[in-house]
Amino acid sequence: MTLRLSRLRERLAPRSPESMLVGSFAGLIGIGTVLLWLPLSHNGSVRLLDALFTATSAVCVTGLIVVDTGTDFTLFGQVVILLLIQTGGLGVMTFAALAFQVLGRRLSLRAQAALSDTLTQKDMASEFRQLFWRILRLVLVVEAAGALLLFLGMLHHHTVGRAAFSSIFHSISAFCNAGFSVYSDSLVGIRTNPLVVGTIMILIVLGGIGHPVMIDLWRSYRLRRRAGGPASVAGLELHTKVVLWTSAALILAGAVLLLVLGPTPEEQSWPDRISGALFQSVTARTAGFNTVDIGGLPFASLFLLTLLMFVGGSPGSCAGGIKTTTFALWVARLWSWLRGRKSTRMFGWHIPGELSRRASLIIGLAVVWNLAGVLLLLATQTGTSGSAGFHDVLFEQISAFGTVGLSTGLTPKLSVIGRLWIILTMFVGRLGPITLVMWFIPRRSPGVRYPEGRVMIG
């Protein structure tokens, strides 16, 4: 018993990076739930479970909603949601680091390394402070530029005050890949506005590729400009190349397939159909905005969107899913095996076996979690007249895990058990299954080496 308590204290210790991450997100969700449950935040139609669901969706930058953001929440409630999105998008750990810095306290090297690894996937503990301020400036500049463009586009639809708030809300929501909208139909009503739709897409892509990639692109641009040479990917880091190529391939492939499978009504013009397919391909992996009725899409299109949502965005970004780099590593490793290579290669670089194994572990944990979720939702949401179908349940589960926020209309119909499960899935999807496994299950060094055994596979 004493040993178990000791291990529990070790997992909950503030020096544990996993405990810091889990605790900070859970704490912010709790604060957000209380604020959204206050009578000042809603019009009387929001229950405690609804407030918890909304707060989790906002902090985990998902976008799934059980009550309408624009009508059921007051202006104060919408501002609370916006602050939760911004804080969750940047990462609670970075805000905790800022608080320590403002108070004149220093983080331990282990904590700085954990925070830095969350953002850049490498050890940069000594450079964390400079890196954080660079990220913060970059985020504020991008969101401000996006808000300005959206404001110009929304002036045609709203008064100046309404357009200003809507532009700020959607700029932050898009860059943080949250998918929250103050409009009941998301962006369906303004899908013919190219400035708004185009700006939203750019913000989603920038927020989905991750801060490390944006910083590396800016660094490479400045170096090329000083040298007077043309723009090139030659000087970019391997991580940046993998993210950019994988993201571009997924976006283009998704848009073409959605165009063929039919994401928009046939009576629309080809430019509108192409725009709709491209937008849904972009938003399906990360954000959760929609310019078409998701529930009215063909099953083939829904399955394609499900695959895109499962992959998600990139490491160090505001997006969820297994991440583009994980998917790219898995494909590269599979291709190497098929060609008889013992090592995995990408862009002329050898990939360590530990990274390939980690990618396989992430995919395996994600598959297990989502299979369990689909089974639970099928048991609690189907089997009655007018209930959800298998495609609705699968789409809802993957959307929550990928922190995407798209839905065929099942979210408001979820039972209490279903809502609690989706809340937990959004939390797991935002933090990542490996983080929670490392926090919950302590690592032990093997003291005994077992004899090697073989089984038949395949």
Q: What is the pLDDT of residue 292?
A: 84
Q: What is the pLDDT of residue 129?
A: 63
Q: What is the pLDDT of residue 75?
A: 93
Confidence of residue 165 (pLDDT cuts 50, 70, 90): very high
Between 313 and 165, residue with greater pLDDT? 165
pLDDT exceeds cutoff 60 at 13: no
The Cα 244–Cα 235 span in angstroms is: 14
The Cα 286–Cα 92 span in angstroms is: 19
The Cα 374–Cα 287 span in angstroms is: 22
Q: What is the pLDDT of residue 19?
A: 67
Cβ-in-10-Å burial (0-12, 13-18, 19+) of 237 comes to middle
pLDDT exceeds cutoff 50 at 39: yes
The overall pTM is greater than 0.95: no
Q: Which residue has the tokens 């976006």?
A: 251
Confidence of residue 296 (pLDDT cuts 50, 70, 90): confident
pLDDT exceeds cutoff 80 at 416: yes
Confidence of residue 42 (pLDDT cuts 50, 70, 90): very high
Give every CB contact of residue 324 below 8 A, 6+ residues apart in sequence.
Answer: 242, 243, 246, 247, 250, 311, 312, 313, 314
Structure tokens at 284: 């399906």
Structure tokens at 118: 């969350």
Phi, psi of 314 (to 5 degrees): -120, 160
SS3 assignment for the chain: CHHHHHHHHHHHCCCCHHHHHHHHHHHHHHHHHHHHHCHHHECCCCCHHHHHHHHHHHHCCCCCCCCCHHHHECHHHHHHHHHHHHHHHHCHHHHHHHHHHHCCCCCCHHHHHHHHHHHHCCCCHHHHHHHHHHHHHHHHHHHHHHHHHHHHHHCCCCCHHHHHHHHHHHHHHHHCCCCCCCCCCCCHHHCCCHHHHHHHHHHHHHHHHCHHHHHHHHHHHHHHHHHCCCCCCCCCCHHHHHHHHHHHHHHHHHHHHHHHHCCCCCCCCHHHHHHHHHHHHHHHCCCCCCCCCHHHCCHHHHHHHHHHHHHCCCCCCCCCCCCHHHHHHHHHHHHHHHCCCCCEEECCEEECHHHHHHHHHHHHHHHHHHHHHHHHHHHHHCCCCCCCCHHHHHHHHHHHHCCCCCCCCCHHHCCHHHHHHHHHHHHHHHHCHHHHHHHHCCCCCCCCCCCCCCCCCC
- Report CA torsion sign: 220, 226, 231, 233: negative
pLDDT exceeds cutoff 80 at 444: no
Mean pLDDT of 164-169: 94
pLDDT per position as a tens digit, 349-404: 888 877 888 888 888 889 999 999 999 999 888 665 456 788 999 999 999 998 89
pLDDT exceeds cutoff 90 at 166: yes
Q: What is the pLDDT of residue 188?
A: 84
pLDDT exceeds cutoff 50 at 86: yes
Mean pLDDT of 121-130: 52
pLDDT exceeds cutoff 50 at 12: no
The Cα 239–Cα 237 span in angstroms is: 5
**Domain ranges within the chain, ordered by starting residue:** 16-440
pLDDT per position as a tens digit, 49-78: 999 999 999 998 888 899 999 899 999 999
Could you give the angle at the alpha carbon of 377 between the alpha carbons of 375 and 380, nearest 5°? 110
Mean pLDDT of 132-158: 86
Confidence of residue 99 (pLDDT cuts 50, 70, 90): very low
The Cα 410–Cα 282 span in angstroms is: 22
